[in-house]
Structure formats: structure tokens, C-alpha cells
Amino acid sequence: MSGAENTEEGESLSERLGFAETIIEFGPLHPGVRHVMTSVGGSASFLVELDDDRITGLEVEIGLAHRGFEKQVESGDWAAALPYVSRLGLASGVLAETAYCLAVESLAGLALPDRAIWLRMLVGELARVSDHWSRLGATMAAIGLQEGARVAATGETRAARALAGATGVGPLEGYVKVGGVSRGLADEFAQGWPTMAVRLMDELEHFERVAVSNPTCVRRLRDVAPLGVEEALAWGVTGPALRAAGSSMDLRRDHPYLAYGALEFDVPIGENGDGLDRLLVIVEEIRQSLRMVDQCHRLLVSLGPGRVLSEAAGPGEVALARGEVVASVESSTGELAFLLSSDGTSRLRRARCRAPSFFHAQAMPVMLRGARLDDLLPTAALLHLISAEHDR
């Protein structure tokens, strides 16, 4: 498509034609527009410098959805922070809630009931499946593979339904609480999961047939926006994008929190760190997450109903120790951590969120130098930039 390589040595197309380099602006778009959000990073704005259709410079502008949420959290009671934390993602809000609650529980010396630990893993993995489907859908839309986008949308809907069924509440309603979770496994989910699991797995296999093994998809994503392990680490890239580069870093396995140490799962890794490897890692992670949900479901059914929230876990009942704690989880995007600093009062001195999208947005210019303009959208989609994450 590009004629840039065919021009005389050292002369770019724009030079040959006597044009100045083109600079175009992508975005911003409203962060609430979901699929648009996942394909172009929502409220992030891209300033792209082009020579013909080659990207010669890229500036990612963030801050357009800056909520000041860390300031909000530091201005109220620790319990009042949760609604802000939930909104770090839609499906993946439960993963952010888990990180925040683990940090508060660590300051409070609060132990979790067994069921709450397994429920947090169950909903966390379902949220990952939903998020992963959403990035697959956005990627397919970005490369124009409508059939793939359609299958991904079905997969995402099924996963979101399963998540709502398991939690009994909608997204953003704060399922994960300090001291546990807000309710036990819904009966309907306990009985219905085996059927749902089969359907979700069917959808994944369907996607592999129409998208992953589709030559167009392979051609369109291979060698796109490559990122090696060293570079990925230097820029703080984590999650599927880092694993696609060949690193097996995964907090669930390396520093098992909750009860991940008791779960069986594989950590898929790529070789080239390009768009295709990212896609393959994400697809395989859906399969692994479904495996984990199965194991959590089985254990929870065998435990039966019981306590899911610690006693005395309310705002007035929990005393926070002085000092700093860090709690990290493997979110669907990468390493999501809360650093909390407490003076021993109910108001946190500092609540810092290390959110993976922030780091991925910063790494995009490195990944896309010399890429084609067409590669910007699939790359943003596979990275799954979440605006609430790169703003504070």
C-alpha cells in the first residue's frame, strides 16, 4: 500500500511531492462510548505525524478524563473510595476493587472468609474473559474483520451475563467489599455455570476458526507494532502485551494473591511481541480463565453457602494501622496496584493507583514508530487503553 520504500534513496514521498509532513489528530472520543473507546483509547487523543501513511511521530495525550480520583479518595473515608475504584474499568472494575480491598485489608489486618477468596477469583476471571472479548472485538473491528467482531461481541455478552449472574449485581455496583464480597454465589449461577462454560468455550473455538486462522487476520497483525521483552520492561509494559513479547511474568503465578497458588492454569507467552502474538495470548488467556472459573465454581459449590464478608468490616469497625502497603493484582490489562499510606486514621494519607493503561499509553510511540497509520487502531485495541486508568 505504501509507496514510501520505492522512492529514491533518502527521499520520502512527502519530500518528493513537495509537501510538508502531515500531522493528524485522532480522538478524543467520549470515554462512555464503549466499543469506540476500546478501539481508539476513548478520551486519549493521538497526535500522529505522518510521512505518506508511515507514522514518524506519535504523541499520546491523556488527562482528558482526569477525575482527580486519588484526591477524592484521600479526602474522605477509606470506604467512600470504592465507587471511584470500581470505575477504573467496566467489567474489570472488580479486579481494581480487589486490589484496593487487599491493600485496605492488609492495613487493617483483616482476614477473609474462604468463600470470599474464591469468589473474588471467580468474578475476577470472568471479568478478564469479558474484557479480553472486548479487546478482541475492537481489534477485529479495527482490521475490518466483521465476522470476528460479531463473534467477539457474542462472547463478551455471554461473559458479561455470566459475571452479572455470579455477582448478582450489575457492573460498577461494587461487588467486592473490604473484608470480602457483598453476596455469596447465586444459586442460578451455581447450577447454570456448566452450560455457560460450554457455550463460552464454543464461542472461543468459533472465534479461532473465523478470526485467528483467517489469513487476513494473520497478515494484518503479524509484525505490527512489535515490542521486545527488554523494551517492554523498560517502558513498564505488563499483562498480555508483555507476555506476548516472551516474558512469562504473571502476578497470579509469580506472587500468588488470594488463592491463585491453588489453581491450575498455564501462562501463555508469545515470541515476537507483535500484534498477532498479542491476539494469540489474549485468546489463550480466555481459555485459561475459563479453566480457573471452573475450578472456583467447583470448590464454591462444594463449600455450600456461608459467610462471605468478615465480621466487623464496616467503615466504623476497621482500624487502619500506620504505614504503607502495596497490593498488586494481575488485571486484564496488566499489573494494577494500590499503594496506600495511612496515618492510622480512617482517612488515607495517600492512595496511589498504578494502572497498566497509563504505562501502555506511554509505550505506544515506541511500538508504532515506522508503523502504518492503519496499525494505530488495532494496536490501541489490543492494548485496551482504559481512560479511567491512565487518568487520575
Partner 1 sequence: MSELNPNSLRARHRDLEVEVAEAPDGGSGELRIAVPSRHARALLGRLYEEESTKARRLVDLTAIDRWGPGPGVVGPRFEVIYRLESLQLSAALRVHAWVDEGETTLESVTGIWPVADWLEREVFDLFGLVFKGHPDLRRLLLEPGYVGAPLRKDSPLGGSRGTSGVAGS
Please give the residue ranges that form the binding site for partner 1 (CB under 8 A).
Answer: 62-63, 66, 68, 70-72, 74-75, 102-103, 106, 233-236, 249, 254-255, 324-328, 335, 337, 339, 341, 343, 349-350, 352, 354, 358-359, 362, 391-392
Q: How far is the CB of 272 from partner 1 (least distance, A)?
A: 20
Helices (H), the chain: 13-17, 34-40, 69-75, 82-86, 93-108, 114-143, 146-167, 187-207, 215-221, 229-234, 240-244, 251-254, 275-303, 356-368, 376-383, 387-390
CB of 359 to partner 1, least distance (A): 7
Q: How far is 247 from 305, CA to CA, in rounded Å? A: 39
Q: How far is the CB of 15 from partner 1 (least distance, A)?
A: 27
* Residue with Cβ nearer partner 1 (121 or 200): 121
**Angstrom distance (rounded) from CA 279 to CA 285:** 10
Can you tell me the distance from the alpha carbon of 244 to that of 247, in angstroms, rounded to the nearest whole number? 7
Quick one: 4 exposed, middle or buried, by C-beta within 10 A (0-12, 13-18, 19+)?
middle
In the bound state with partner 1, the residue whose beta carbon lies nearer, of 105 and 284, is 105
Shortest CB 50 distance to partner 1, Å: 21
Dig out the grid coordinates for 76 from the structure: 474522605
In the complex with partner 1, the residue whose CB is nearer, 163 or 325, is 325
Beta-bridge partner residues of 27:
none
- Closer of 271 and 324 to partner 1 (Cβ): 324
In the bound state with partner 1, the residue whose beta carbon lies nearer, of 21 and 254, is 254
- What sign for the dihedral angle of Cα 58, 64, 65, 71? positive
Minimum distance between the CB of residue 96 and partner 1, rounded to whole angstroms? Answer: 15
**Closer Cβ to partner 1, 65 or 212, answer by number:** 65
Report the nearest approach of partner 1 to the CB of residue 390 (Å): 9
Report CA 139 to chain centroid distance, whole Å.
14
Compute the distance between CA of residue 160 and CA of residue 150 in angstroms, rounded to an integer: 15
Nearer to partner 1, 133 or 235 (CB): 235
Q: What's the min distance (Å) between Cβ of 362 and partner 1? A: 5
Pick the closer one to partner 1 by CB: 63 or 315.
63
Nearest to 75 by CA among 84, 64, 87: 84
The set of cell numbers assigned to 235 is 517502558
- Cα(184)–Cα(125) distance, integer angstroms: 16
Residue 17: CB minimum distance to partner 1, A: 31
| Residue 344 DSSP label | S
